[in-house]
Amino acid sequence: MKVIIVGAGIGGLSAGIGLRRAGHDVLILERSSLAHEIGAAIHVPPNASRVLLQWGFNPERAMLDRTRVAGNFDAKTLEAGSFRMEMGFVPAKYGYPWFLSHRVDLHNELKLLATSKDGLGTPVEIRTSSNVTTVDPENGIVTLQDSTTLSAHLIIAADGVHSASVAVVIGQPNPATPTGHSAFRFLIPTDAILEDPETRDFIKEEGSMKIFIGEGKRIVWYPCRRKAKDIKLWPLLTRNPLPTWHRSRLVLIGDAAHPMLPHQGQGGAQAIEDGAALGHIFASNSLPVNPSAATIIQRLALFETVRKDRASIMQIFSSVAQDEAHLMHDKAKAYIKEGQEVPRTQQDFFNFNFGYDVFGHCDEVMAKAGARVGEGENGVADEISATNDEVPHPHAEENTTEANQDGNYNLTAALGSDASRTEEEALALAAAAAGDAADDKDEDYDGFVAVAREKVTGWAYLVRHWWESVYVFL
């Protein structure tokens, strides 16, 4: 499958790595030259390091620090506050470390993973100074500023909060809006802190994250490797969760889909989760060589099932500090799945944020849909059987999808025995499965879809109505 990714930031590179490892040919179009990479420090929490380490990310080569202790302080007196926690428990409890990095170091290692000849799959191609001006989601075509057109089976918009693809997906402009707050982002050399007797004690502990709180403002301070003294003003923008992330062959990820304020430290992590989910759900061993639009739509529907609610909750809670999370409880409830509790305490947020396994979630959703998944923990293609052993797997060799002698379509595999889907989801699954059959048999897709829809309508009774740097926030 050919994939075009618009944007070579954290999200775009993560998607490139995931889809490369899944067996696809990936082209990333980046409007900048990537010659002057900028940024400040960034968290790589356990929910993201879980993905990166499984991909072969080298934290030593990337010069990442580990979070070893976190605590808050009074911004006026500089005295320790009520919260302090040793973080030695994090790898044991959540399976993976909590890293601290400079964004450039993280980006460079992701770029190496994407483009290196080592590793699974074909290396990703990155074309710089390639400004995409329009996207045609139905035909899978992007047009560049020089009028060049390129096509792919799947187009991924990972070009940030100002992505023009948002309007393409949802049918109208939906720009991120200013919050009225800004963050000053800057780095202070460790030597300068050590030379000042008033500040040297603040870095006596390695891997220490400090939060200074006062009068509605806060300073967040933690170590990273890069040295720079420039102060960057970062206007904080917000946008409510989108109703959908995809349209035909086009999907939004990262800040294009879910821009976040920095209060949860999850923006980069959520983009990494997006890339991991795409690679897992679009495993090449479960797709036709030339997947139809309906097949892409079906997989993107599964991707959105995995990612949209999770990232939307992060968007909502990222709009306030964790000690103000109670202000967002009601809004977050709409995205909490049945049986889950809305996070309230610091430990709740650790569990909710850090304990998430995107690969496992993909497996659950795809097994429920009776689909095949890709990489497991060991980078091996795994196959998940249908939810009910008696239900034929839509891609199993012994149950090849095809029209029978009467011209009827076997939709048992598409629907499965699980009645927890909306009728719309069931129709999408059935139509996509019909598209696979048409792909495999080189037959008329529309005819299969018509039969698929007729059969699903007749089976309506089965369907139930279904992420040292200093941030100063002003």
Annotation says 222 is catalytic: yes
Q: How far apart are CA 179 and CA 157, in angstroms?
A: 24
Dihedral, 287, 290, 294, 296 alpha carbons, nearest 10? 60
The residue written with tokens 């139905």 in the block is 138
b/e sequence 434-450, b meaning 16+ C-beta within 10 Å: bbbbbbeeeeebeebbe
Which are the contacts of 197, defined by CB distance < 8 A and separation ≥ 6?
A: none
Angle at which helices 445-458 and 423-441 cross, to 10°: 150
Cα 78 vs. chain centroid, distance in angstroms? 37
Three-state secondary structure string covering 218-248: EEEEECCCCCCCCCEEEEEEECCCCCCCEEC
Q: Which helix (H) or strand (E) holds 54?
A: helix 46-54
Whole-angstrom Cα Rg for the chain = 23
Angle at which helices 267-281 and 293-318 cross, to 10°: 160
- Residue 309 is given by DSSP the state H
The residue written with tokens 């030339």 in the block is 290
CB 214 within 8 A of CB 76: yes
Catalytic residue among 94, 96, 222, 356: 222
3-state DSSP call for residue 134? strand
- Beta strands 2-6 and 154-157: pairing type? parallel
Nearest residue to 421 (alpha-carbon basis) of 455, 445, 456: 456
Nearest residue to 30 (alpha-carbon basis) of 131, 123, 106: 131
Query: Nearest 5°: phi and psi at 89?
Result: -75, -15
Angle at which helices 358-368 and 46-54 cross, to 10°: 80
Catalytic residue among 185, 247, 249, 421: 185
Annotation says 200 is catalytic: no
Instruction: List, by residue number, the catalytic residues.
Output: 185, 222
